[in-house]
Amino acid sequence: MSEPAEFVTIKLNGEEIQAPAGEMLIKVAEDNGTYIPRFCWHPRMKPVGLCRMCLVEVETPRGTALVPSCVQPVADGMAVETGSPVALKAQEGVLEFLLVNHPLDCPICDRGGECPLQDQVMSYGPGESRFVEEKRHYEKPVPISDLVLLDRERCILCARCTRFSDEIAGDPLIEFQNRGNGTEIFTFPDEPFASYFSGNTVQICPVGALTAAPYRFRARPWDLLTIESTSPFHTEGSRITVHASQNQVLRFLGVDNGLTNQGWLSDKERFGFEFIGSPDRLKMPMIREDGEFREASWGEAIGLVAARLKEIVERSGPDAVGAIGGAQGTNEDAYALSKFMRVAVGTNNLDAQLDDGLNPDFLVGVGSRARIQDLESAKTILVWSADLKEENPILYLRVRRAARELDATLIVVHPARTGLDDLADHKFGYRPGDGADLLADLAAGTQDYAPALDALQDGPVVVILGRTGLSEDGGLAEAVASFARDLPAASIMPIVRRANTFGALDMGVAPSLLPGRIPARGASGAIIELWGKVPATRGLDTAGMLAGLVGGELEALIMVGADPVRDVPSGSKAADALRAADFSVAIDLFMTDSAAMADVVLPAEGFTEKEGTVTNLEGRVQKVNRIVPGPGQARPDWSVLDGIAESMGSPIGLPSSEAIAKEISTVATAYEGVSWDLLEGEAREGAVVPIGDVRQPLEYIAVNAEQPARTKGLALHLARTLYDDGSAIRHSLSLAKLAPGMTAGLSPDQAVDLGVEAGDLVTVSIGSVTFACPVRIDRALADKTVAIPFNQPGIETLDAAASVLVKAGGSS
Amino acid sequence: MTDTARWSEESEALAESVMAKYPQKRSALMPLLYIAMREDGYLSEAGMRRVADLVDLEPAQVSSVASFYTMYKLEPVGKYLVSVCTSISCWLLGGDEVLEAVEASAGVPSGETDESGVISPEHVECIGACGGAPAVQVNYELIEGLTPKKATELVEWLNAAQPATLNGDEMQALFGGERSFDWAINETNDATGPYPAFQPHGTIAALDRS
Ligand code: SF4
Ligand code: FES
Ligand code: FES
C-alpha cells in the first residue's frame, strides 16, 4: 500500500507515540495496543462514524471534546484519552442507547458467545438499564435471500452490511429504509439479497441481526473446535477458519490475509462446507461385478486395481494407462499421483486440467508473474479472461477494489457482459473466435483502442488472462500474454478456475511437466535419484487420453477427484471414452457421473479431513489442516496411490503427507525452502514459490497462436457460473438450488432476428444435445452469438466445439 | 438490471431532460421520484424500479432515499393532504388539538385517507411557520393560527367545495388566525393532479424554467 511516509507524534493515554499522518485514531490506538470499542468501523471499509461507540476524549484548542475516533485522523501534537471517566461515561451512554431497542435474546441468538455487542456491553456497558418502556418489534427473522436471514430487532444500524454490499461487493441490494426510530435494513420487495458475497455480511454484522441459513442453530460458538486452513474452492486460496463440533464441519469463516482474500469469502467457499458432511459421501471401496457395484475391502479393491493396471502395462506398455485429476486435493496428493504415474506405471499420460484450462507450460512457466497484491499498486489492469465474478470471485473483489478505491484504469475484454463491466474504463467485446483480430487491433492501437493502449503503456500494469469461455481456444490467452510481455511494465497473471490446479501443475500433474516446474524431458538431480528413470516423451493431455480410450491406444484410466463427464467441455465424448475403457478407477468423494461408469471406485478423504499444502494462482503455498475424520473407510489420495503402487510391486515410498511435503521440497526445484514449519510459523500468509532468488525453473517459450477458423452460423460462448452442477455444489444443499439453470444469452439484435424477447422460450441444439430454455438479453454480446452457461443441473454436458442452432419456441 | 415498464412519453422525456442537467445520473434521483409520483399518484414499486433503472441504482437504494423523506408518498394520498404541524411552537399553542380536530372531521387518523379519497390528515415536523403557530398546510399551501374549531371548518369546507385550486391567502382569510408576516408572492397551488405536492412538483417546474 502507498502509505504516506510522513509520521506525526501524538499522546495516547499519556504516552507519546508515532503514527502515520492521516491514519484514523482508532487504528493508531489499536496498532499501539489500545483497543477502542467500535461497531461500525471495519478496517477494510471506509469509516462512517455512525454508531458513536468509539468516542474518546481529545484535547482541542477549545478544551477537551468527545470525538469518534474512527473518523478522526491523527494530527501532530494530538492528546487523546481513551479511558478517561468522560470517555467511559460516553461509551456507557452509547451502549445504553443501543440496548434501548435491542431484544437481548442472546440465549436463542446464533451470535451469542461471539457477539461484539455482548462483549462490549460486558466490558464497557453500564450493567443496568434504566429503560422500562416497550421495545420496538419487528417480525422475527425474515429471509432476505436463500442464504441469509435478517432479524431487524437485533440490528444496531451500523451499516456494515450495507457498506460491504455497496463498497466491496458491488451489490447494493440491502439498504437503510425509513428513518428515525423506524429505520431498518431491508431489501426492495421481490429483490432478494442475491449477492455472491452475502455471507460476508453475516460474518461482519456486530450483532446477530444477520444469520446464515446453513449455520443457524447448529452450534454454540464455545462448543466449536477451530482450525485455520485454506479454502479449497477457488484458485485464489482464501484463508479461512474451519469450525467443527462432534466431528462435523459446521462453518467456514474468512480470515483476513491481506495478500489474498482480505477477510472476504465468496458464498460458494463459505457455504460449500456442506458437501463434507453429505450423506452421499463414499465410505467404502466399490467394485463393479456383473454391472453392479458391491462394497469391497481396501485390500481387495487395491489388489484388483494393481493387478489390472499391471496386466495392461505388461500387455500394452505403460502408455496404455492415463490419469486425469489431482487438482482438487493437496500438493501432497498431486505429488503422489505424479510419482505414481511416472514411477509405478511409467508414463507421462496425466493431466490435472480437464480440457478447460490452459497450456500447463504456459501457466507455470510464463515469466513476470503477477501477484494479487500487485493490484494494489497497478495503474492499469487488463482483464481478458473468464468473468472473474463467476470463476475467481476473490480476484474479482480485488480488481474491483483497485478500480474503485485505488483508481486503477480497468480494461475488460470479454465476449459477454461481466461483473466488472460497470467499473471498466474500457470494455471491448468480440464474437467468440474473433479474439485474435481484437488483439491485433488493440496492439496496433487503432481508433477505439488507442486510449486503452495508451493506458497499457502506463505502468505498473497487471494483465489477468485466461480462457473467456470453454469454446475459446487457450492459445488466445497465450497470444495476449505475448502482447503483455512487450508492454513496458506489465506483470502477467494467468488464471484457471479449479482449486489447486496450480499446485497440481507444480507437482508435475501434466503431460509435459515434472514436479517443481521442470520439463519432463529435463529430469535430473534429485528426481532421478529418488524416482529413477522417468519417461521423457510428452504424454497425453485429457483430450488426448479421452480420444485414446475411444481409439484403443489407451486402455486404462485413473480419475483422481475428476469428473470428466460433467467437467470436460465435451462431456459426451468423456462418457464414450469411459465406456470404451478396458479398465477405469475413480478415487473420489462422491459417486460422480464419471465414477458411476468406472470399474472400481475408491473413497477419498477430502478437505478438512487431511493435512497438506495447496498453491494458489500466484504460486502462494499455504497450509490446509485436518479437523474431522473422513467418512467410513475413506483415505487420502496419496495413501491410496501409495497402496496401489506397493501392490503392483513398484513402491513409491510415500508413508505420510508430511514425508511427502519433505520430498517435494527436495525434488521440486521451485519448492525449495518450503516446509510445513515455515507455513505454520513465519509464513502464515503463505510463501510464494520460488522463494527468494531461486530462478523460475521453467522457461516458457511463446508459441504463435494460430488463427482459429472463423465460425460460420452462430458462435457459442460457453461459460461457467459460480454455482453449477459440480459435485461439491451438488452435495451442498444450500447452494445446489442456486445454480441459475439454462438460459440462452442473445444480443438485442439477434433476439429481434429470431423474433424473441427476454424470457421467451427458445430451443437450442448444441451438437447432439437439444434443450429448451428462456432467452436472456445481453447487450454486450456480439450478433450471431449465443451465450450458454456450462454444467447446469438437468442438462447433459455440452460440447464446446459443436455447432449451435437456436430456434424460437420451446418444443424440442 | 431488468427492463422496467416505461412511463408516458411526456414523463420519459422530462426524466431525460432532468438527468441531462447533472454530471452524474444518480444525482437526478430525487426529481425523478417526483415524476414517478406524478405518474402513479404515489411512489409505487414499479415507479421506484423505473427510477432505479434510469439512474443505474438498485431499487433498494432508491427506496432508501424515498422512504427517508416524508414528502415522497409511498401510499396513495387523497385529493387534499392536510399537514398539521406538531413541532414545538405549534405544539405549545395547541397543534395537537388542531390535529385531533382534523382527524375527527376527516374520520381517519393521521397517515390515512378517508373512504372517499378526499382528505388525508398527517402530522408533520416544523414547517417554518412557528411565528404563526399552530400552522397547517393543505397541499402545501399554508394557513396560520388555526383553532380546533377553524380546523374542523376547514376540513368540512374542503369536503364540500372540493376546490380545483387552493390558495393560501384565501384559506387564511377563511380559516386562519393571526398571520406571522406577509408571505409575499401570492401564488396559487394548482397541484390538483392525482396527488398533492409542489407544482408539478416543484423541482420539475423550476428545472423546466432554467
Ligand atoms: S444488520 Fe448487522 S451489519 Fe447490518 S446494520 Fe444491522 S447491525 Fe449492522
Ligand atoms: S466505530 Fe466509530 S462511530 Fe462507529
Ligand atoms: S413548530 Fe410548527 S411551524 Fe415551526
> Which residues does residue A55 pair with via DSSP β-bridges, in sequence order?
A68
pLDDT for res B40: 84
Query: How many structural domains does chain A have?
Result: 4
Indicate which CATH number applies to the domain containing B161. 3.40.30.10
B196 domain-assigned: no
Residues A578 and A454 in one domain: no
The predicted-structure confidence for B28-69, as pLDDT tens digits, reads as follows 999 899 889 888 888 999 999 999 999 999 999 999 999 999
> Which residues does residue B80 pair with via DSSP β-bridges, in sequence order?
B119
| H-run or E-run covering A728 | helix A727-730
pLDDT for res B209: 39
Indicate which CATH number applies to the domain containing A431. 3.40.228.10
Residues B49 and B128 in one domain: no
B16 domain-assigned: yes
Residues B55 and B100 in one domain: no
Dist CA B49 CA B37 (whole Å)? 12
pLDDT for res A39: 97
Residues A480 and A345 in one domain: no
pLDDT higher for B188 or A788? A788
How confident is residue A572, by pLDDT bands cut at 50, 70 and 90?
confident
Dist CA A781 CA A341 (whole Å)? 43
Look at phi and psi of residue A643 and say left if phi exceeds 0, alpha if psi is from -120 to 50, else beta: alpha
The residue range of the domain holding A414 is 369-492
If one residue of B85, B178, B183 were mutated to test the ligand 3 pocket, choosing by the most ligand atoms within 8 A of its CB, it would be B85
pLDDT for res B193: 39
A167 domain-assigned: no
By Cβ distance, the residue of B48, B49, B60 closest to A172 is B60
Strand-strand pairing, A583-588 and A600-603: parallel
How confident is residue B208, by pLDDT bands cut at 50, 70 and 90?
very low
A605 domain-assigned: yes
> How near does any CA of chain A get to the CA of B173, in Å?
36
Strand-strand pairing, B80-85 and B119-124: parallel
By Cβ distance, the residue of A171, A188, A777 closest to B63 is A188
Q: In this structure, which ligand is nearest to the CA of A70?
A: 2
B131 domain-assigned: yes
In sign, the C-alpha dihedral spanning A669, A673, A674, A675 is positive
> Which residues does residue A504 pair with via DSSP β-bridges, in sequence order?
none
To the nearest whole percent, how much of chain A has pLDDT over 70?
A: 98
Q: Which residue of B has its CA nearest to A177?
A: B64
Give the DSSP per-residue string, A699-712.
Answer: -PPPPPPP-PPPPP
Assign 3-class secondary structure to chain B: CCCCCCCCHHHHHHHHHHHHCCCCHHHHHHHHHHHHHHHHCCCCHHHHHHHHHHHCCCHHHHHHHHHHCCCCCCCCCCCEEEEEECCHHHHHCCHHHHHHHHHHHHCCCCCCCCCCCCEEEEEECCCCCHHHCCCEEECCEEECCCCHHHHHHHHHHHHHHCCCCECHHHHHHHHCCCCCCCCCCCCCECCCCCCCCCHHHCHHHHHHHC
B207 domain-assigned: no
3-state class of A492 per DSSP?
strand
> Which residues does residue A22 pair with via DSSP β-bridges, in sequence order?
none
pLDDT for res B39: 85
DSSP A601: E
Tell me the average pLDDT of chain A: 94
Does the CB atom of residue B136 touch ligand 3 within 6 A?
A: no
Calculate the alpha carbon distances from A84 to A73, A88, A803 in Å: 20, 6, 75
The residue range of the domain holding B24 is 10-66
- Which grid cell sits at A561? 477427484
Residues A488 and A505 in one domain: no
Dist CA A550 CA A396 (whole Å)? 39
Q: In this structure, which ligand is nearest to the CA of A25?
A: 2
Chain A contact for B9 (CB, 8 A cutoff): no
Place of cell 506483470: A491
Indicate which CATH number applies to the domain containing A566. 3.40.50.740
Hey, how many other C-beta atoms are within 10 angstroms of the C-beta on A507? 33
pLDDT higher for B35 or A169? A169
Residue A5 has pLDDT above 80, yes or no: no
Spell out the residues 6+ positions from residue B99 whose beta carbon is closer than 8 angstroms to its own: B84, B86, B110, B121, B123
CA-CA-CA-CA dihedral for A122, A125, A130, A131, to nearest 10:
-80
Could you give the angle at the alpha carbon of B139 between the alpha carbons of B134 and B144, nearest 5°? 20
Comparing A530-539, A614-623, A693-702, B175-184, the range with the smallest average pLDDT is: A693-702
Residues B57 and B84 in one domain: no
The predicted-structure confidence for A375-418, as pLDDT tens digits, reads as follows 999 999 999 999 999 999 999 999 999 999 999 999 999 999 99
Residues A348 and A485 in one domain: no
Residue A181 has pLDDT above 80, yes or no: yes
| Cis? peptide before A415, omega within 30° of 0 | no
Residues A551 and A684 in one domain: yes
A803 domain-assigned: yes
The predicted-structure confidence for A200-218, as pLDDT tens digits, reads as follows 999 999 999 999 999 999 9
Indicate which CATH number applies to the domain containing A775. 2.40.40.20
Q: In this structure, which ligand is nearest to the CA of B99?
A: 3
The predicted-structure confidence for B163-177, as pLDDT tens digits, reads as follows 888 888 899 999 999
Give the DSSP per-residue string, A213-252.
Answer: TTTTTS--GGG-EEEEEE-SSSTT--EEEEEEETTEEEEE
| Contact (Cβ atoms closer than 8 angstroms) between residue A606 and residue A632 | no
- State which amino acid sits at residue A24: M
**In whole angstroms, what separates CA A670 from the centre of its chain?**
23
Residues A509 and A621 in one domain: yes
User: How deeply is A16 buried, as exposed, middle or buried, from its count of CB atoms within 10 A (0-12, 13-18, 19+)?
Assistant: exposed
By Cβ distance, the residue of A173, A178, A186 closest to B58 is A173
Hey, how many other C-beta atoms are within 10 angstroms of the C-beta on A762? 24
Residues A387 and A473 in one domain: yes
| Contact (Cβ atoms closer than 8 angstroms) between residue A764 and residue A788 | yes
Dist CA A42 CA A160 (whole Å)? 8
Choosing from B66, B88, B112, the residue where a domain stops is: B66
- Which grid cell sits at A300? 481387495
- Spatial CA neighbour of B31 closest among B175, B176, B204, B164: B204
The predicted-structure confidence for A218-253, as pLDDT tens digits, reads as follows 999 999 999 999 999 999 999 999 999 999 999 999
Query: How many structural domains does chain B have?
Result: 2
Choosing from B66, B90, B109, the residue where a domain stops is: B66
Residues B46 and B91 in one domain: no
Dist CA A495 CA A505 (whole Å)? 13
| H-run or E-run covering A802 | none
pLDDT higher for A4 or A753? A753
Residues B61 and B94 in one domain: no
Residue A674 has pLDDT above 50, yes or no: yes
Residues A328 and A421 in one domain: no
Residues B146 and B168 in one domain: yes
Place of cell 442473445: A746
Residues A487 and A513 in one domain: no
The predicted-structure confidence for B82-100, as pLDDT tens digits, reads as follows 999 999 999 999 999 999 9
Residues B60 and B88 in one domain: no
Assign 3-class secondary structure to A262-325: CCCCCHHHHHHHHHHHCCCCCCCCEEEECCEEEECCHHHHHHHHHHHHHHHHHHHCHHHEEEEE
- Which grid cell sits at A461? 500494469
pLDDT for res B37: 87
- State which amino acid sits at residue A455: A
Spell out the residues 6+ positions from residue A612 whose beta carbon is closer than 8 angstroms to its own: A329, A330, A331, A332, A333, A623, A624, A657, A660, A661
CA-CA-CA-CA dihedral for A656, A660, A661, A665, to nearest 10:
160
ipTM of the shown complex: 0.90
Does the CB atom of residue B142 touch ligand 3 within 6 A?
A: no
| Contact (Cβ atoms closer than 8 angstroms) between residue A65 and residue A78 | no
Residues B55 and B112 in one domain: no
Dist CA A327 CA A323 (whole Å)? 12
Ligand 3: centre distance to CA B178 (Å):
14
Dist CA A719 CA B24 (whole Å)? 33
A129 domain-assigned: no
| Contact (Cβ atoms closer than 8 angstroms) between residue A264 and residue A200 | yes
A197 domain-assigned: no
Calculate the alpha carbon distances from A365 to A324, A518, A697, B197 in Å: 21, 9, 8, 67
Indicate which CATH number applies to the domain containing B34. 1.10.10.1590
Dist CA A809 CA B20 (whole Å)? 41
Residues B108 and B154 in one domain: yes
Choosing from A99, A119, A137, the residue where a domain stops is: A99
- Spatial CA neighbour of A254 closest among B165, A262, A512: A262
Choosing from A492, A515, A530, the residue where a domain stops is: A492
Does the CB atom of residue A38 touch ligand 2 within 6 A?
A: yes
**In whole angstroms, what separates CA B100 from the centre of its chain?**
20
B2 domain-assigned: no
Residues on chain A touching B59 (C-beta within 8 angstroms): 188, 191
- Which grid cell sits at A218? 447448529
Contact B67 A187 (CB under 8 A): no
pLDDT for res B203: 37
Contact A175 B64 (CB under 8 A): yes
Hey, how many other C-beta atoms are within 10 angstroms of the C-beta on B19? 18
The predicted-structure confidence for A575-597, as pLDDT tens digits, reads as follows 999 999 999 999 999 999 999 99
By Cβ distance, the residue of B48, B56, B67 closest to A178 is B67
B148 domain-assigned: yes
Residues A536 and A646 in one domain: yes
Residues A593 and A674 in one domain: yes
pLDDT for res B168: 87
User: What is the layout of strands, in order, in the sheet containing A785-789?
Assistant: A715-719, A785-789, A744-746, A769-777, A761-766, A804-808
A116 domain-assigned: no
Hey, how many other C-beta atoms are within 10 angstroms of the C-beta on B148? 18
Residues B100 and B170 in one domain: yes
Chain A contact for B48 (CB, 8 A cutoff): yes
B51 domain-assigned: yes
B162 domain-assigned: yes
A178 domain-assigned: no
Dist CA B177 CA B151 (whole Å)? 11
Dist CA B85 CA B98 (whole Å)? 9
| Contact (Cβ atoms closer than 8 angstroms) between residue A161 and residue B51 | no
**pTM (2 decimals)?**
0.94
Ligand 2: centre distance to CA A69 (Å):
7
Ligand 1: centre distance to CA A175 (Å):
10
Residues A482 and A528 in one domain: no
Choosing from A99, A121, A156, the residue where a domain stops is: A99
Residues B59 and B109 in one domain: no
pLDDT higher for A287 or A367? A287
A517 domain-assigned: yes
